[in-house]
Chain A
Amino acid sequence: MTIPAVTLPLLSFIVFTPLVGALILLLIPRHQKEAARVFAATVSGFTLLLALWAFLAYDRTAGGYQFVERMSWLPQLGIHYYVGVDGVSLPLVLLSALVLFTGVLVSWNIEDRPHELFAFMLLLASGIMGVFVARNLVLLFFFYEIAIFPKYFLIAIWGSTRKEYAAMKLVLYTLVGSIIALVGALALYFISPIRTFDMDVLRELAARGAFARTVEVFGQAVRFDHLWFLPVFLGFAVTAGLWPFHNWVPDGHSAAPTAGSMFLAGVVMKVGAYSALRVGIELMPGGAVYWLPVVVFLAVVAALYSAAISLVQEDLKYVIAFSSIGHMAFVTIGFAAMNVTGLTGAVLQMFSHGVMAAILFATVGMVYDRAHTRYLAHLGGFARAMPMATLGFILGGLVAMGMPGFSGFVAEFQVFAGIWAARDTAWWYPWVAILAAPSIALSAAYILRALQATFFGELNRERYPHVGDVTALDKVAIVTLAVWFVLIGVFPRVMTDLIQVGVEPIAALLQGAMVASIR
């Protein structure tokens, strides 16, 4: 007799630990603020450990979706609770857990209702990680929408400057994008020969060209995937901050509290890009092949425009906020390459930028907490007072500039290599690389400008008489994040092997659609 192997529902644990933690947190008595903080840190630390476990336990030679769980939810309509991770989603799950844990640590000193603060953060993390593991379209949208409203409260309650305006703007932008994408997903469901929301089945159908059939719109015959790819992709790309739908990004990132900015730039934008990849590109590869060579221009504009704007910002947070639009543009360019190299670069860029944005916003928050201003003109000389935060900012900055030896270089290099290798797709692809390249030089310029103005020079002792060093918890957060830059910069294969396993099927899907479209 063999004992049946009991497999641990690891992904459900990862997704629901923060959710359950959030509910328990609300039951802790109001005045016990320290208990709430310790509890939130414990829950998020546990989640991080689980995510690390999944990261290490994933079998990279086997590839595909692992830790799969499947339960019926609304079987008649093809809706299941179906989760799994592959080489694309696993790094992002890890990233979310990292940002959650460090976000809790740097929010330690917030005195206004820490219970609710941490509960909303945990809820947000739960929704985000749910999107990354969902393998059923309805489940994906379910988690996607969960991840919207906590942002409103995080910004509107604990934010600064024009917080309510920014919070509402952000929420409405992302909500509109996601529900337009939802209509597209429903259209996909009804046109599919098999009525299901199961993304494995839908992808299989997409590979066989099921969504390439023609439908009639106002008397015109159009291919279904050509028609719906753009609304779905752009609907999600709103959250990824793609130009010209990026407008919520600078306001939202700047108004949010430190942990909120870390979440927004670090993972929320990745939720948009990831969903655009999973729902837009993977389920409608024909549409992707048709539209991505055009969409890539939006990304080129985004990269140049945001880098140029970052260079002239007076508010430190706006510098980083605009820079994140530019870095996310490289993700879209990597998608548009539609080959293994480009896609690997894109996914790695998501991870790398996530960690980088988290560390930059964390250190900026540490400065703001002590200086109570973010204007570059009023700052300066903080390196002496808080060396560790300065180091964190410098490391994040080096990643942002794409300095070799750090993760940003590995990611952006592959994006450029990918788009160059794909020059048969469209004659202008080499030009995409050439046009986007100056943004890297510009990013070096704005990072150095911000670094110089904030951390170096003379500290104004009259204005800031009591600036002290960052707390031990802040240092833990900085180290937790910074380790990954160097690790990936020096041993890229820690990540790239995994990602490559994940993107190979997507690249194959796109190549197939390309061949079909030529035929």
Chain B
Amino acid sequence: MELSWWAHLWSVLPEIVLVLAAALMMAVDAWMPEGRKRELGYWAIGGLATALVVTAVQAAQLTGGIAAPYEAFGGSVRADLAAMLFRVIFLLAGILTVAISMDFRPLRQSGEYYTLLLISVLGMGLMGAAVNLVTLYLALETVGIALYLLAGYLRDTPRSAEAGLKYFLFGVFSSTIMLYGLALIYGFTGEIAYNRIAQALVGLPTPAVMAALLLILVGFGFKVSAVPFHFWTPDVYEGAPTPVTAFISVASKAAGFAVLIRAMIEAFPAAQGNWVAIMAALAFVTMTVGNLLAIPQRNLKRLLAYSSIAQAGYILIGVAAASPLGVAASIFYLGIYTLTNIAAFAVAVIMTNVTGSEEIRDLAGLSRRAPGLALAMLAALLSLGGIPPLVGFFAKLFVFAAAIESGLLWLAIAGVLNAMIAFYYYIMVARAMYVDRSPEEEKPVWISRPARFTLWFTVAGVLLLTVMVYPLYLLAQMAAQAF
């Protein structure tokens, strides 16, 4: 069936909006007087929100049965519900990141910063929609380059520069290895489209396919910060500007999972027996190492870095289950994790503004100093830990249920034991806020209006989604059926 030009454009309309917004941002930046640069954040939010509305319309068409999923640009991208849902995650993460960036002191407000952010969201949207190897790689690199720059954005701070360089080196290295794997796949099959690769791989010798698959997994593993490809994570998270860390920890990870899930299910169904074992092993190692290394951390951002590694492990459980429930559980988990982790980082941003420090001990006395802020952090930590009444409970319940359903009982048990370790260090952060005392308890904490909005939005989300968990689960399930 021949697609109209409009159908082609419609499939990537959110990305087109973002390109225009990025271009507009540079123009506005040049024209905006120095004193009013803070307002650039609202322009960025405007661009992202427009793309979000477009995505919402597309998703509504698909769920309402008005439109059917289709592939555009000669099989480069697919407009299906999974692509839309992941876009929603990226765009939401983008909006909330901008909101906590606007009054982050170390970050001098400039158009460049927001332009880079918009471009990385654009690349992520394409990552979620990519259905051939070339688009996949291009999208991945678009995101990568923008994020390397963002991580090293504080040029005057050595730690930030180091983070940018480290992220760049690790990123380039792993994406080169992945490219080699992609080339192998192309060499074996002569195809670049996922569905054709899947057909061509049937009957090929397993060792060859596995070699290529393992090389590709290096790139994906880097993106989602799975152990043993996680070494960059703590340093980059610690050094990068905190809002950028928040963004990398949620959006970049979600994008990594978007390509991982799609590539595994659409391109490598023939090797499923093998990659399920790899994913299960990755999940186990990732959550265990992440959680154990989080325990001794004294820096809040490093703690959240290891916690985000561990969270990737839980999400990998859903991938390893390789079932509709498993994929739905992973997508659901990613959505919840995005909200929750941004809430935690928003508190980190606010506290860095006030104390100039990122140490956990500087949260001491927060429950006396700013009870609402402490409560928001507590909600975020408990949701990350999977403790009800916060919606993180359901995220964990679904992945563990998926593992048991697929016969991975050992992984589910490892998962719940890991959840217990995680609870320990999350509670230790809460302990600093609630139990420890500090001489600065009387000083007020200044929270900017966009940051306040972010906190209300995310915390209300993790609370209310518990009650309204069903629609979100249904969406994730419908998206999982898209594969």
The segment out of A62-70, A169-177, A240-248, A257-265 that lies at the interface is: A169-177
In the bound complex, what is the Cα–Cα distance between A74 and B417 (angstroms)?
25
* B382 near A186: Cβ-Cβ < 8 Å: no
Q: In the complex, which residues of chain A have a beta carbon less than 8 angstroms from the beta carbon of B382?
A: 149
* B416 near A72: Cβ-Cβ < 8 Å: no
In the bound complex, what is the Cα–Cα distance between A176 and B418 (angstroms)?
10
**Does B253 touch A at the CB level, under 8 Å?**
no
* B431 near A164: Cβ-Cβ < 8 Å: yes
In the bound complex, what is the Cα–Cα distance between A180 and B412 (angstroms)?
10
Q: In the complex, which residues of chain A have a beta carbon less than 8 angstroms from the beta carbon of B469?
A: 73-74
Interface contact tally, CB-CB below 8 A? 85
In the bound complex, what is the Cα–Cα distance between A320 and B279 (angstroms)?
50
In the bound complex, what is the Cα–Cα distance between A143 and B388 (angstroms)?
7
- Nearest neighbor of B428 in chain A, beta-carbon distance: A168
**Does B409 touch A at the CB level, under 8 Å?**
yes
Decide if the interface of chain B is mainly helix, strand, loop or mixed: helix
* B397 near A138: Cβ-Cβ < 8 Å: yes
* B473 near A156: Cβ-Cβ < 8 Å: no
Q: In the complex, which residues of chain B have a beta carbon less than 8 angstroms from the beta carbon of A74?
A: 394, 469-470, 473
Q: In the complex, which residues of chain A have a beta carbon less than 8 angstroms from the beta carbon of B412?
A: 183, 186
How many of B's residues come within 8 Å of A, CB to CB? 34
- Nearest neighbor of B403 in chain A, beta-carbon distance: A186
* B388 near A190: Cβ-Cβ < 8 Å: no
* B387 near A152: Cβ-Cβ < 8 Å: no
Q: In the complex, which residues of chain A have a beta carbon less than 8 angstroms from the beta carbon of B404?
A: 183, 186-187, 190
**Does A182 touch B at the CB level, under 8 Å?**
yes
**Does A484 touch B at the CB level, under 8 Å?**
no
In the bound complex, what is the Cα–Cα distance between A74 and B473 (angstroms)?
8
**Does A179 touch B at the CB level, under 8 Å?**
yes
* B416 near A145: Cβ-Cβ < 8 Å: no
Q: In the complex, which residues of chain A have a beta carbon less than 8 angstroms from the beta carbon of B222?
A: none
In the bound complex, what is the Cα–Cα distance between A76 and B434 (angstroms)?
39
* A180 near B416: Cβ-Cβ < 8 Å: yes
**Does B183 touch A at the CB level, under 8 Å?**
no
**Does A113 touch B at the CB level, under 8 Å?**
yes
**Does A456 touch B at the CB level, under 8 Å?**
no
In the bound complex, what is the Cα–Cα distance between A153 and B374 (angstroms)?
13
Q: In the complex, which residues of chain A have a beta carbon less than 8 angstroms from the beta carbon of B388?
A: 142-143, 145-146
Closest Cβ–Cβ distance, residue A35 to chain B (whole Å): 16
In the bound complex, what is the Cα–Cα distance between A30 and B388 (angstroms)?
26
**Does A157 touch B at the CB level, under 8 Å?**
yes
What residues of chain A have their CB less than 8 Å away from a CB belonging to chain B?
26, 30, 72-77, 113, 115-116, 138, 142-143, 145-146, 148-149, 152-153, 156-157, 164, 168, 171-172, 175-176, 179-180, 182-183, 186-187, 189-190
What residues of chain B have their CB less than 8 Å away from a CB belonging to chain A?
367-368, 371, 375, 382, 387-389, 393-394, 397, 400-401, 404-405, 409, 412-413, 416-417, 419-420, 423-424, 427, 430-431, 434-435, 469-470, 473-474, 477
Selected A-B contacts with CB under 8 Å, 25 pairs: A26-B371, A26-B375, A73-B470, A74-B473, A76-B470, A77-B473, A113-B367, A113-B368, A116-B371, A142-B388, A149-B382, A149-B387, A153-B434, A164-B431, A168-B424, A168-B427, A171-B423, A175-B420, A176-B417, A183-B413, A183-B416, A186-B412, A187-B404, A187-B409, A190-B405
